[in-house]
Amino acid sequence: MNALSTYLVLAAVLFSLGLMGVLQRRNLIGMLISLELMLNGASINFMAFNRFLAPEPAVGQIVTLFIMGLAAAEAAIGLSLILALFRRLRSINIERAQQMRG
């Protein structure tokens, strides 16, 4: 219905907003939220190429499902790490987490 470039621009803007959030936030949960935006930008790209260019429309959907599964795994691991860090430091500010000794 719309042109391919509309979707590509939307995906690029989403990804850039997420990139800006990851670079600029200091709250770890805020960084995780921005990371989800970046993953969604990538998925929109896959679905758009799937709709307009790809020979086999099932493949892009499979890749998008794969990205969703990875995002769920990443969110679970990230959130449990954030909880562990919060118990240790009483803070989820990224600038307080500078010590590597366990």
Partner 1 sequence: MNLIAGTESWAQMAFWVIVGLTLGGAGIAVFPRNILYNVLGLALALSGVAGVYMFLGSSFIALMQLLIYVGAICIAIVFAIMLSRPLHLEAPERNAPKVAMAAGASAIFLAGMLGVAFKTDWVPAAQRSADWSVETIGHMLLTRYDLVFEVISLVLLVAIIGAIITAGASRRLSS
Interface with partner 1 in residues 63-102 (CB under 8 A): 63-66, 68-77, 79-84, 86-88, 91-93
Closest CB 63 distance from partner 1, rounded Å: 8
Out of 9, 97, 99, 100, the residue judged to bind partner 1 by CB under 8 A: 9
Least distance between partner 1 and beta carbon 7 (Å)? 7
* Euclidean distance between CA atoms 66 and 32, whole angstroms: 18
Question: Taking the complex as a whole, how short is the minimal distance between the CB of residue 39 and partner 1, in angstroms?
Answer: 9
By the 10 Å C-beta count (0-12 exposed, 13-18 middle, 19+ buried), 101 is classed as exposed
Q: Which residues pair with 27 in a beta bridge?
A: 93
